[in-house]
Structure 1
Amino acid sequence: MNYAETYPLNVTPQGDSTRSAVEKNRKEILSLVAALNAQPSGAVGGSRQRVLSAAMLSGAWNFLSSDGLAVIINGSVNPVIMTFADGCGENGNIDYIGVVRDKLSAWSLPANNTSYLYVERSDAGALTYGSTTIAPVEQDSAPSAGSNDAGLCWFSTLESKMYVWTGSAWQHKVRLFVGTAKTDGSTVKSISYKEYPQQLAPSLQQKLKEIEAGATKNENCISAIKIGDVTVTANGHQDTFTITAEGLIALSADAKSRTIKLSTPDLSKVYAQAKLDAHPVGSIYESTVSTSPATLFGGTWVAMDAGRVLVAQGKAATGTTFTAGATGGEEKHKLTTSEMPAHDHTMSSAGEHNHEFAGTQSSSDDKTTEYEQTGDYNRTRAWLKTNYTQKSGSHTHTINSTGGGEAHNNLQPYEVVYRWKRTA
């Protein structure tokens, strides 16, 4: 495919704003990808940081060859078209297109080693070629690197930028790896091409619009995530979406495989813990069944005192204060004298009464009876016998006592149940 870039990103056409130049560059890249996808050789996958088009043989890349310890790149028949990703700016993706139209001996490699081949783009747009014997890394976060790791290349998948470790710091580069070559003492023994992910089948790739007309966001940036009725909006370009594990949910992430795993413990343990949490220490459990709540919910439970009812703590309307944990009351109660209701025993009877005496009549007494009344006494003579009582009737009446003096039942109507209290 013979291709010449019309809107290079580093050149702003006369009269175009930076934003317009970015949009034109992006549209051109997408149009190029669409044209390549339509070719019989198949789809190219994404459009950033990859070889878009080059010579192929039997459905595989075929633009690298060797000569001794040298590796040749051939774009003379089918140009090698590449894109270099360099992050994202306020106006969208920063991408560059590189084209190799000649056949070049681009790499001279060390013997008896494995070399990773890259093409680098300068700020002026010139392409140069280099290699490293340290395998490049692609991941979100910077890999660990020390003073002996100079030359390590890291492509930040979070930023879509390439960095090179100088031995003390990461230096930004615009660089694309295209393949790997293994050498022996004098020749290149094998060449393998860099593989690029293909997210969708060729027939579906163009249905995924990487950027819409007039849009300015990074096409690799999700502006918002909706979960149910809640929408989480990005704070800006390259915002990080954080997933936090809470409670019984465990979360593990693998940066290399770019996977996130959520896991939960044995659900039977979750249910058991939920039942125990529903009955905290101090809880009271009642049942008509004798099964201990320790068996049902776990924890330590003790049976509460038999024969007691529960009373709410605090000050009652009567003025009595009840303190939590206190006990009181009686099952049976025997009244004391002071607790008996006040009452009288009344007897209605006059004091005046008679006493009859029997005696022997005197032979000289011709009167059988005689009643005599004076100011103080009433008296009856029986056969002239003088007998009398005091008129006031002063005397004693005895009233018989009753009752057993035993304690009385002091319980309200009740139904007996089993009751426990959790102590631990």
Structure 2
Amino acid sequence: MATTAPVSAGTDAYIGEVMLVGFNFCPRSSASADGQLLAISSNTALFSLLGTIYGGDGRTTFALPDLRGRAAISEGQGPGLSSYRIGERGGQERTTLTIAQMPSHNHTGQVRAESSVIADTGNPAGNAIARSTQLIYSDAAAPTAAGAFHPDTLVINNNGGGQSSNNMQPYLAMRYCVVTQGIFPSRS
């Protein structure tokens, strides 16, 4: 059965309660959780609950939580998790990893190892690495000494472009509203 009654947070909602709605406005008796400043003089009950946790000067204004582009989590500390205090903000939409943040890993490289090239340790650029126990041959008929690795370090170039990557969980955008008028919540 459809109703034409105006949309309202209702008299059953607690002042300061945050609700999620699937439409693009907040019902009567509520305001958008967008960090807006409210006058203490017009919202004394709500101010007595929120104080300046989310901002404001505490003399004439206080702020509502700003949940735009943010996921809400419970304050406190779960088993094996970090501790969060009410009003704390954190996280970021995008991130660029530094080398220090990367997990330990290996890269593979390719080196040309041939038995038909004379090793030249004085000028190794462009030369092949000799195979471990095989003799190195040249165009001459007599073989040279057994090949050995040149003492230089093999360098594998950096990869990646240094661009940030998306750090967001899958999401569905909706509107958060804070109840401004309703039942004052009891602590017991």
Matching residue of 1:393: 149
Summarize the Cα distance change of 1:321–1:393 in structure 2 as closer, same or farther, 3 Å threshold. Answer: closer
Q: Does 1:340 align with 2:102?
A: yes
Deviations 1:121-148 (A, max 9, x none): xxxxxxxxxxxxxxxxxxxxxxxxxxxx
User: Offset of 1:399 from its aligned partner?
Assistant: 3.2
* 1:206-245 CA distance string (max 9 Å, x none): xxxxxxxxxxxxxxxxxxxxxxxxxxxxxxxxxxxxxxxx
AA in 1 matched with 2:11 = D
Check if 1:419 corresponds to 2:176.
Answer: yes
Separation of aligned partners in 1, 2:169 and 2:88: 20
- Please tell me whether the aligned partners of residues 351 and 394 of structure 1 are also in contact (alpha carbons under 8 angstroms): no
Is the contact between residue 96 and residue 163 of structure 2 (CA under 8 Å) also seen in structure 1? Answer: yes
Q: 1:311 aligns with which of 70, 73, 76?
A: 73
Counting aligned pairs with the same residue, the percent is 24
In structure 2, the gaps of 5 or more residues are 35-66, 121-138, 182-188
Residue identity opposite 2:148 in structure 1: S
Q: How far, CA to CA, are the matches of 2:26 and 2:76 in structure 1? A: 30
CA distance in 2, matches of 1:406, 1:420: 35
Which amino acid in the other structure matches residue 403 of structure 1? G
2:14 corresponds in structure 1 to: 280
- Amino acid of the structure 1 residue aligned with 2:118: N
Structure with greater Cα Rg: 1
Name the structure 2 match of 1:101: none
C-alpha distance in structure 2 between counterparts of 1:372 and 1:276, whole Å: 96
Describe the SS at the equivalent of 2:92: coil
Residue identity matched to 1:415: L
Aligned-partner Cα distance in 2 for 1:369–1:285:
86
Name the structure 1 match of 2:128: none
Matched, 1:407 2:137: no
Q: Quick one: distance in 2 between partners of 1:313 and 1:404? A: 37
Q: Is 1:326–2:88 an aligned residue pair?
A: yes
Tell me the distance in 1 between the aligned counterparts of 2:97 and 2:11.
47
Opposite residue 371 of structure 1, the aligned amino acid is: A
Are 2:58 and 1:301 aligned?
no
Taking structure 1 as reference, are residues 286 and 280 closer, same or farther at Cα in structure 2, changes over 3 Å only? same
Partner SS, residue 170 of structure 2: coil
**C-alpha distance in 2 between matches for 1:275 and 1:421:** 9
What is aligned with 1:35?
none
1:351–1:393 Cα contact (<8 Å) kept:
no
For 1:285 and 1:393, locate their aligned partners in 2 and report how far apart those are by CA, in whole Å.
Answer: 69
TM-score (norm 2): 0.51
Conserved? CA contact 1:281–1:423, under 8 Å: yes
Report the Cα offset of residue 409 of structure 1. Answer: 1.4
Q: Which runs of 5+ in 1 are unaligned?
A: 1-270, 357-367, 379-389
- Listed as ranges, the matches of 1:11-410 within 5 Å are 276-294=10-28, 298=29, 301-304=31-34, 305-347=67-109, 353-354=117-118, 369-371=140-142, 373=144, 378=145, 391-394=147-150, 396=152, 397-410=154-167
More strand by share: 1
Structure 2 letter corresponding to 1:306: R
Q: Give the Cα separation in 2 of the matches to 1:285 and 1:277.
A: 14
For this pair of structures, how many residues does the alignment match? Answer: 123
SS at structure 1 position matched to 2:142: strand
3-state SS of paired residue (2:100): helix
Q: State the alpha-carbon separation in 1 of the partners of residues 9 and 150 from structure 2.
A: 83
Cα separation, 2, equivalents of 1:317 and 1:283 = 26
**Alpha-carbon distance, 1:342 to partner:** 0.6
**Alpha-carbon distance in structure 2 between the residues aligned to 1:336 and 1:391:** 39
Query: 1:327: Cα distance to partner?
Result: 1.7
For residue 393 of structure 1, what is the amino acid of its counterpart? F
2:94–2:167 contact (8 Å) kept in structure 1: yes
Give the CA deviation at 1:416. Answer: 0.9
Deviation, 1:340, is 0.8
* Residue aligned with 1:371, SS: coil
Distance 2:159 2:175 in 1: 41
Deviations 1:109-168 (A, max 9, x none): xxxxxxxxxxxxxxxxxxxxxxxxxxxxxxxxxxxxxxxxxxxxxxxxxxxxxxxxxxxx
CA contact (8 A) 1:316 1:322 kept: no
Residues 398 and 320 (structure 1 numbering): CA distance in 2 closer, same or farther, change over 3 Å?
Answer: closer
* Deviation, structure 1 residue 407: 1.6
1:49-103 deviation digits (Å, cap 9, x = unpaired): xxxxxxxxxxxxxxxxxxxxxxxxxxxxxxxxxxxxxxxxxxxxxxxxxxxxxxx
Indicate the SS of the match to 1:420. Answer: strand
Pairwise CA RMSD of aligned residues? Answer: 3.6
